[in-house]
Structure 1
Amino acid sequence: MTQLGEIQQAILTGEAAAVGSLPVPESYRGVTVHADEVDMFEGLESRDKDPRKSLHVDDVPVPELGPGEALVAVMASAINYNTVWTSIFEPIPTFKFLKKYGKLSPLAKRHDLPYHVVGSDLSGVVLRTGVGVHNWKPGDEVVAHCLNVELEGPDGHNDTMLDTEQRIWGFETNFGGLAEIALVKANQLMPKPDHLTWEEAASPGLVNSTAYRQLVSRNGADMKQGDVVLIWGASGGLGSYATQYALNGGAIPVCVVSSPEKAAICRKLGAELIIDRSAEGYKFWKNDDEQDPKEWQRFGARIRELTGGEDPDIVFEHPGRETFGASVYAARKGGTIVTCASTSGYMHQYDNRYLWMNLKRIIGSHFANYRESWEANRLIAKGLIHPTLSKTYSLEETGQAALDVHRNAHQGKVGVLALAPQEGLGVRDEEKRAKHIEGINAFRGA
């Protein structure tokens, strides 16, 4: 049996504490992009770029463990849109991030390589910890959030997202979670929810924390009871968590989806006010250069029809270019548009009269700090928020999983198994799981 096989066996047989005495292998399999292939999609439109061609499963060396860091045996991971961006080398190849990071210090130089191990989610078991790590030990079952910070300057000590050296692990750093072993900072680690499988526990991390900060936190929209919240892509990776937070927090979600199947998922979550923008034929752009304000007005009227005459207090915005003009128009006077991601394009256009004359606010929101991520994970662990996993792939099928997300042919989150040999493993609290099984499985088979 290989060294990695011994580690896997110890975890699967309930002897995870023993991994601290087992040797760490010299190499592991990871999903990578290659620096010498960054021009492979030149001349193609974004929608025509195929992650299956750029994502590889390679055998790569285990990185040196530094102070304040941990090596984690990855049981499962998940696909986020940043992996799609990485795989199609947009908006820029991530090797530019790695090169810049590599100039920071001799330790950071490890990340500047001709390959990039990607992925910003994981669930797994701590293998080793570096000097100065006290809260975690080998054998601990964990999940990881994706905020990587240095905190050597003052800016990040009020909100770590403002650290001048803030990066997203597995996107702007190397050695990410779509792999059998990952390198993280110890302050990325959080306890694995004990009623979830490995793949379920891996799936919320990035999107759950992002939605928490964007919608609930004082750093985001600071949602309160009774707020009308317009949620774009309400059954997707981000939107499915925003929908849950709105419902849990006493708000009134207006869920925008693009198919009857996605509408059905929102209803399953408990949402009642739903707009199927494909069925209702909303086209916010007349052509590539001109938006259609009449469509904004029709959309706003539809929202008021559903809410009994109320405009949204908060617009949960992440599609970006395609929807941003409508979002600014639709928000109520004094309302908030909170935005991240821009999956349909970064160059937003809107009519500033609707913003300035109606005293609306646009808030930029990016991932979450450690406290926000911890709170979001705590809600998962308590069964108050549930994973939105719909489908799981093997590590070798990561390219196909990323293609599904790229083409929006998925619901909720798409998981990837690493060292877990099959789905359904890793549950430690069957009683709690049974209590929440309907919520846990809400997206399964969707």
Structure 2
Amino acid sequence: MESRSTAGARTVRECPECGAPVPVDERYVDWCAACDWNVDPGAPDPEQGRIPAARRRLAHAYGEQLAAEMERGGGESGPVGRDAATLLAFALSLLVHGVTVMLAVTGILLVVLGWDTGVQPAVGALLLGLAAVLRPRPTRLPKDGPVLYRADAPRLFELIDEVGAAVGTAGVHAVVVDPEANAAVTTYGLRARRMMILGLGLWEILPPQERVALLGHELGHFAHGDTRRGIVTGGALRALATWFYVLAPTPPDGLLDRFVNAVTFLPRWTVYGLLVLLDHLTLRATQRAEYLADVSAAKAGSTEAAVGLMDRILVSRAVGPELRRESVAAQVRGGSAGRQARERAEQGLWERLASHVGAVPEHEYERLRRVAARRGHSVDSTHPPTHLRRRCAATGGPYAAQVTYDEDRASTVAQELAPARAALARRVIRDYAG
């Protein structure tokens, strides 16, 4: 049974499970707030494989316990990574990298000293190639995207500096702007300079104070530390995952395959054990670092802004599909008409995206919150579930904003970002359809 209420309201239907009224909006999922009917119709399958499964088990083991500790204020201050587990993880990481060094040295010796045999140089080259893949390497600045330095966007960097001071850290040396609905911080180059990745797909859909909270969260990772983001431990995790892939068994089609699988059995499970151990030593600290970064978000932008940021993160999953829809719609026509359509689509792309996300009703936000609570760690084991992060942010503090983002500052920052916004709008319209 369906009925339409007065003009301007949405269609309402009865829930097939409990009979409660269900708002109907063709843009969003129909679901029942009374009994959760159809609340999560598109639940993704968890990532397959032993390593993701092991990480999900570890994440579930911490889950509510770590959130409860944060709500009690047990981990609000102090850097992450000063306990015995972190020191052991660092030592284990050095051991992993020591194996990589040994491979490189052995490869060099085989290449230099084994020319008489002909076989040894080939083996040495293979070992050198493997060592090159396994080596820890610093992040590089991207070559295909807008990169802003202090001289390019002084007010943006001034804002980042102010947020950094509010959360107890310094600013960054470079800001990489991309079209995705994300944000991150890392270091780049041998001198480990600080870099922030600012995704316009997320930045543009946030109200002003939530942008401050976003910056506070990302800079909070520098303030509190995260061993898995470092080149030593992070590089060791990547090296072990690579080893596990290299040593993976092959389908036993013949005697040689069976022999290779038997020879690699012990090394493969040794690598798996080391990877699980390193995960165990670092995953709890990594999730705690996320909670502490959320505290930094609240301190910088306010508790209200930090909670609002969590909700925007939930709806940010719609950003990618919306950008692809814009791209496809602009490219359906060819010739000069198509070129004009693409140019028109580039104009105001980010404003349309913000308007699209801004129109999401509270009913959909509530559905996404319930979906986040249902899925928990099943999709992403390296971050605490968003519903727990939101709960901790809402119960902490409350904090008033230490950094304000008024209209004058927002207008100036928008002008500094204008060239990057235009370049990335052009990339989205021309490339996202594929």
Which has the larger share of strand? 1
Mark yes or no: TM-score above 0.5: no
Instruction: Tell me the TM-score normalised to structure 2 length.
Output: 0.23
Which one has a bigger Cα radius of gyration?
A: 2
Which has the larger share of helix? 2
Instruction: Tell me the TM-score normalised to structure 1 length.
Output: 0.22
